[in-house]
Structure 1
Amino acid sequence: MTYTAQMLETYPADVHLDHQQLASVIDCLTTCAQACSACADACLSEPAEELPRLARCIRDNMDCADICHTTAAVLSRHTGYDASLTHAQVQAAIQATRTCGDSCAEHADAHEHCRICMQACREAEEAMRGLLPKLQPSGRAPGKPSRTAPQQQG
């Protein structure tokens, strides 16, 4: 059991999402963020003449790493839960992983680090797509933050 899963199991209030699925998504996001950071760094270590061709890939890697990291953090918070914000953040992360995965795919044949990063992006995107329907906002504005985890289900 990962630390993410252990933390969800010890949360003192109800988290109205499947703990195993949520932990898996959070872990996929942190793995993707790490892969994207490492891929950007590896791209920067390629020969200087390759860098102009890799510039967009590096940018997409850096954006995806930041967005995945932030999304994992948002999904780890349950007190005063705001389904609208969480839903929008996951949608942004789906777009970031798709964009980065596509960018890395362009270089996957020439650079193994891009192939690995592409795979991490695809796995994170798939995991988030499975969770997204369960994060549907209710249409109600979030109330005051509380000590409980009032998940809003669609």
Structure 2
Amino acid sequence: MTAKAEKLMDAVYACVGACNHCYEACLQEEAIDMLRACIRSNKDCADICTNVLAYKGREEFLDYDLVKLCENSCQACAKDCEEHEDMEHCQKCAKACNDCAEACHDYINA
């Protein structure tokens, strides 16, 4: 696996973990109604990132459109999580999503 693919997979893996953690933590919050968009974004982003991870070791088959979809999903999830400044899990998720979006961008444009 090339260095750029390894960087991508590491970021995607971290993003899946952060999104799943944020998803579960949001479900435990009392103000769940204000977190609906965040919860949905967490789940969507984790699912798309998981699809990218399925290509680990098969870089020659990794579709740039899938990586672009992952980048867009990560950006949307980060935006939703950033709105919840008082929730540490959302802020950690936003960082992981932004890092993943950057790795996706670098992979596509390298």
- Whole-angstrom distance in 2 between the partners of 1:99 and 1:74: 22
User: Which residue in 2 is equivalent to 1:142?
Assistant: none
User: Which residue in 1 is equivalent to 2:87?
Assistant: 111
User: Which residue in 1 is equivalent to 2:57?
Assistant: 76
2:9 paired with 1:26: yes
Between structure 1 and structure 2, the one with the greater Rg is 1
Q: Is contact 1:28-1:124 (8 Å) kept?
A: yes
RMSD between superposed Cα atoms in Å: 1.3
- Whole-angstrom distance in 1 between the partners of 2:10 and 2:57: 10
The correspondence for 1:62, drawn from 33, 38, 43, is: 43
Q: Is contact 1:26-1:76 (8 Å) kept?
A: no
Matches within 5 A, 1:85-100: 86-100=63-77
Which structure shows the higher helix fraction?
2
Instruction: Point out 4+ residue stretches in structure 1 off by more than 6 angstroms.
Output: none
- Whole-angstrom distance in 2 between the partners of 1:76 and 1:61: 25
What TM-score comes out, normalization by structure 1 length? 0.68
What TM-score comes out, normalization by structure 2 length? 0.93
State the shift of 1:69 in Å: 1.1
State the shift of 1:24 in Å: 1.0
Secondary structure of 2:86's aligned partner: coil
Structure 2: which 5+ residue stretches go unaligned?
none
2:101 paired with 1:125: yes
Q: Is contact 2:81-2:94 (8 Å) kept?
A: yes
User: Which residue in 2 is equivalent to 1:37?
Assistant: 20
